[in-house]
Amino acid sequence: MIEGMHCAACALTIEDVLLKVPGVLKAEVGAGSHRARVLWSSDVARPSDWMRAIQTAGYRAVPANDAFARERRKSEARKALWRMLVAGLCMMQVMMYAYPAYVAKPGDLTAEMEQLLRWASWVLTLPVVLFSCGPFFSNALRDIVQRRVSMDLPVALGMLITFVVSTAGTFDPQGIFGREVYFDSLTMFVFFLLSGRWLELRLRDRTAGALEALMNRLPDSVARLREDGTYELVPVRRLMPGDVIRILPGETFPADAVVLQGDTMVDEALLTGESRPVSRGVGGKVIAGSHNLSSVIQARVERTGDQTRFAQIVALMESASTTKPTLARLADRIAKPFLIAVLLAAGLACAFWWARDPEHALMVAVAVLVVTCPCALSLATPAAMLAAAGALARKGVLVRQLEAFEAMASIDTVMFDKTGTLTRDAMVLGSTQVREDFTAAQVLAMAAALAQHSLHPVSRALLAAAGTASTWKADAVQEVAGGGVSGRVWSGDPFLTSTDLRLGSAAFCGVESNRTDSLQAYLSDERGWLATFALLEDVRPDAMDTVAALQREGIAVHLLSGDSAKAAARVAAQVGITEFQGNCSPQDKLDFLRNAQQNGRKVAVVGDGLNDGPVLAGAHVSFAFGKAVPLAQAQADFLVLGDQLTAVVKTLSMARKTLRVVRQNLWWAAIYNAVCVPLAIAGLLPAWLAGLGMALSSLLVVLNALRLSNSGKSQEKV
């Protein structure tokens, strides 16, 4: 986290400083997030080397997950508020003293009275110059010493020139600058500028605060079980896999763990996108960063630190907050030459007007220096994309690269994987065939009695289909890996109704296999074959709505699967996809992607990240469902943390809104400068109005971007 930044020129300056440090290989500094990402060779450089270089440049580098960052931001906001309030109070008083000179008719205001009002205005302007303008002057002095330029330099020059000209007019009313003083204009544009910066700071903190809240979500300490059965309070960093911890209601889980005792509700909204609390009992897994809501839990730690899902999510959000989209990099590169052009334009305008009226010439230069602010241009892209990334994160979609928004907004084709993407990892019972002397409900209940003793996906599917109302029970159950389960099953009196059953493959059950594409499980008793259960992949409940929503947007939808053509066709028919292929290897999927791209198509790929690495990396934009693969190793641009396939549609909608907002911001910045700069050079824009325009231009860009943060709250469900 970089403290002391105010504009895109600051970001470029810090990048240049870092890249000059031996051993620093790459540096990215976000003007919107005030975060830096530095890649260095530990053989050549140490962190203290490049942190010292940042400090020498006049800024301060602190760890992004520093626990005191929030306190420093609060302190900075309080100081900014005090500077703004002092400027506002003095501005109102100075305006009151300036008012008589504006409305007085010739002869109404004596020279002594006018001079008294000027002296009073000068005294009231001193706190503004010495206190409120302090950061501008110190930053400008830093730039001059370092022989560089930032936005604060032209602003500080404008403030200094205005104060010096007005002071000269106050001390020497008969001199060349004695005709008029501009204390009211100075205090007014300082107040407007500080107001804009304070509001911008507050709005930026909403984004930075959300990321910081996630990063500092873990507790500092936790109760760990001792060998004697008592608990000791230890720092979270000392936790090791295998430790048993106690989590009270309202506390946060410090590590990925499995519940040993207790039954509670857990809030995982920030980590999975699941808005409703979920139940976690004995054997249930809890993830670091989630909240325990209802009762005391004892859990065994499985993963800590960087190995947790929470740490991977934080790393991805940090990476996204420092990446620079193409449009943002272009705007940043324009900012520094633009500032130099501003200084030259102000000097030329002053030289042009000097022969006619030196006082007016200096005030024209001030107006040019103040009004031409490149902040709106530099904030146009990152402000919008960071706001959109934050909104998607609240819906369970992590953005790995902000550039993905530009690509996502222009896609015309979506390619889905089948297993783990359109379908869940679990299975569901399709059809059931039974022997003549039994019903489907009876054999399903009998199979479920055996299935409840197995964790195999087929057993889970049969158990789910049977429900909990069955009276059948089983004992002497044995499970054979790769075969099935066997045991004695009965309903009511075990001495009268018990029978030995086998549930599993055809070979295990001693029956003849049916040659079909669907997965089948068999049930047999002493007489032989009893039932056949056809199991199907569990299609996600929102898959059909997602496909339909994409097709309504004019997007071609394809299904490519490594399973058989019949299995692919069955799932495609269920979700409404007409273009599908089965028996696809990873190379086949990559070939399809390249052919589509050669034909001018812009393709988004949605997969589970397991065997789709090449095609995810090669797509214009890609999605991966985060539960299927370690997040840090995923090749996707967007990671879906929950199970909602509609996240693809929401991301498409957000990307298109984001690009619209970016274009609006860029057009506003361009039009603002195209209109105001000529007016300032022509001497038609007073300094106070220039300050107001400067503050409002940056504020408007940030407010427009902030609409993206709130758009998700009112977005219609797909």
Query: Which CATH number goes with the domain that contains 566?
Result: 3.40.50.1000
Higher confidence at residue 410 or residue 150? 410
Share of the chain above pLDDT 90, in %: 16
| pLDDT attached to residue 557 | 94
Q: State how far the Cα of 471 lies from the Cα of 449, in Å rounded to an integer.
A: 9
Q: State how far the Cα of 683 lies from the Cα of 356, in Å rounded to an integer.
A: 12
Q: Which domain holds residue 274?
A: 221-251+255-303
| pLDDT attached to residue 216 | 64
Which structure tokens are listed for 342? 């501003």
Q: Would you say residue 10 lies in a domain?
A: yes
For residues 533 and 554, state if they share a domain. no
Q: Identify the CATH number of the domain in which residue 534 sits.
A: 3.40.1110.10
**Structure confidence by residue, pLDDT tens digits, 542-575:** 899 999 999 999 999 999 887 778 888 888 998 9
Share of the chain above pLDDT 70, in %: 83
For residues 552 and 407, state if they share a domain. yes
Higher confidence at residue 381 or residue 332? 381
Q: State how far the Cα of 700 lies from the Cα of 384, in Å rounded to an integer.
A: 12
Q: What is the DSSP string of 581-645?
A: E-S--HHHHHHHHHHHHHTT--EEEEE-SSS-HHHHHHSSEEEEEGGGS-GGG---SEEE-SS-T
Q: Would you say residue 291 lies in a domain?
A: yes
Which structure tokens are listed for 210? 């959300």
Q: Which of 653, 685, 710 is the last residue of a domain?
A: 653
581 - beta bridge partners? 560
Q: Tell me which residue has tokens 């003095």.
A: 90
For residues 266 and 280, state if they share a domain. yes
For residues 241 and 289, state if they share a domain. yes
523 - beta bridge partners? 503, 531
| pLDDT attached to residue 716 | 38
pLDDT at 285 exceeding the cut of 80: yes
| pLDDT attached to residue 498 | 79
| pLDDT attached to residue 714 | 46
8 falls in which pLDDT band (50, 70, 90)? low
Could you tell me which of 255, 208, 506, 548 has the C-alpha nearest to residue 386? 208
Q: Would you say residue 622 lies in a domain?
A: yes
Q: Average the pLDDT over each of 78-92, 275-289, 330-344, 668-682 and give the range with the smallest value.
A: 330-344
For residues 604 and 462, state if they share a domain. no
> What is the bridge-based pairing of β-strands 221-225 and 285-286?
unpaired
Q: Tell me which residue has tokens 């560089």.
A: 148
Q: State how far the Cα of 183 lies from the Cα of 167, in Å rounded to an integer.
A: 9
Q: How many domains does the chain have?
A: 4
Q: Would you say residue 159 lies in a domain?
A: no
Which structure tokens are listed for 278? 């979920």
Q: Tell me which residue has tokens 């934080």.
A: 314
**Structure confidence by residue, pLDDT tens digits, 201-222:** 775 665 555 555 555 677 888 9
Active site residues: 417
pLDDT at 264 exceeding the cut of 50: yes
Q: Which of 653, 672, 704 is the last residue of a domain?
A: 653
120 falls in which pLDDT band (50, 70, 90)? very high
Higher confidence at residue 665 or residue 225? 225
User: Cβ(302)–Cβ(258) under 8 Å?
Assistant: yes
**Structure confidence by residue, pLDDT tens digits, 318-331:** 665 555 556 556 65
Q: Which of 635, 653, 671 is the last residue of a domain?
A: 653
- The per-residue pLDDT of the chain, averaged, comes to 81
For residues 230 and 291, state if they share a domain. yes
pLDDT at 122 exceeding the cut of 90: yes
Q: Average the pLDDT over each of 172-186, 193-207, 251-265, 435-449 and give the range with the smallest value.
A: 193-207
Q: State how far the Cα of 199 lies from the Cα of 40, in Å rounded to an integer.
A: 35
Mean pLDDT of 682-707: 75
Q: Would you say residue 213 lies in a domain?
A: no
Q: Tell me which residue has tokens 């509001």.
A: 199
* Alpha carbons within 13 A on the beta-carbon side of 649: 22
Which structure tokens are listed for 359? 């006082």
HEC secondary structure over 470-489: CCEEEEEEEEECCCEEEEEE
The per-residue b/e assignment along 435-450, b for 16 or more CB within 10 angstroms, e otherwise, is eeeeeeebbbbbbbbb
Q: Would you say residue 485 lies in a domain?
A: yes
Query: For residue 188, how many other CB atoms are within 10 A of its CB?
Result: 24
Mean pLDDT of 422-426: 75
Q: Would you say residue 182 lies in a domain?
A: no
Q: Average the pLDDT over each of 5-19, 459-473, 654-668 and give the range with the smallest value.
A: 5-19
pLDDT at 632 exceeding the cut of 50: no
Q: Would you tell me the crossing angle of helices 647-681 and 358-371 to the nearest 10 degrees?
A: 170
Could you tell me which of 134, 677, 652 has the C-alpha nearest to residue 376? 677
337 falls in which pLDDT band (50, 70, 90)? confident
374 falls in which pLDDT band (50, 70, 90)? low
388 falls in which pLDDT band (50, 70, 90)? confident
For residues 460 and 527, state if they share a domain. yes
User: Cβ(415)–Cβ(572) under 8 Å?
Assistant: no
For residues 531 and 625, state if they share a domain. no
| pLDDT attached to residue 404 | 83
562-568's contacts with Cβ under 8 Å and 24+ in sequence apart are 562/418, 562/419, 562/611, 563/418, 563/419, 564/517, 566/517, 567/418, 567/517, 567/518, 567/537, 568/418
Q: Identify the CATH number of the domain in which residue 231 sits.
A: 2.70.150.10
| pLDDT attached to residue 718 | 36
376 falls in which pLDDT band (50, 70, 90)? low
pLDDT at 535 exceeding the cut of 80: yes
pLDDT at 653 exceeding the cut of 80: yes
Secondary structure letter of residue 412 according to DSSP: -
Mean pLDDT of 251-275: 79
| pLDDT attached to residue 556 | 93
Could you tell me which of 287, 371, 427 has the C-alpha nearest to residue 686? 371
Secondary structure letter of residue 527 according to DSSP: T
For residues 528 and 583, state if they share a domain. no
For residues 406 and 458, state if they share a domain. no
Higher confidence at residue 302 or residue 616? 302
Phi and psi, residue 579, nearest 5°:
-105, 110
Mean pLDDT of 670-675: 81
For residues 445 and 588, state if they share a domain. no
- Enumerate residues 6+ apart whose C-beta is below 8 A from 42: 23
pLDDT at 97 exceeding the cut of 80: yes
Q: State how far the Cα of 613 lies from the Cα of 349, in Å rounded to an integer.
A: 58
Mean pLDDT of 45-68: 80
Q: Would you say residue 464 lies in a domain?
A: yes
Q: Identify the CATH number of the domain in which residue 11 sits.
A: 3.30.70.100
Q: Would you tell me the crossing angle of helices 326-354 and 647-681 to the nearest 10 degrees?
A: 10
| pLDDT attached to residue 639 | 82
The per-residue b/e assignment along 206-227, b for 16 or more CB within 10 angstroms, e otherwise, is ebbebbbebbebbeeebbbbee
**Structure confidence by residue, pLDDT tens digits, 478-525:** 888 778 899 999 887 666 677 899 998 888 998 887 766 667 899 999
pLDDT at 717 exceeding the cut of 50: no
Distance (Å) of CA 241 to CA 307, 327, 377, 630: 11, 45, 49, 18
For residues 261 and 237, state if they share a domain. yes
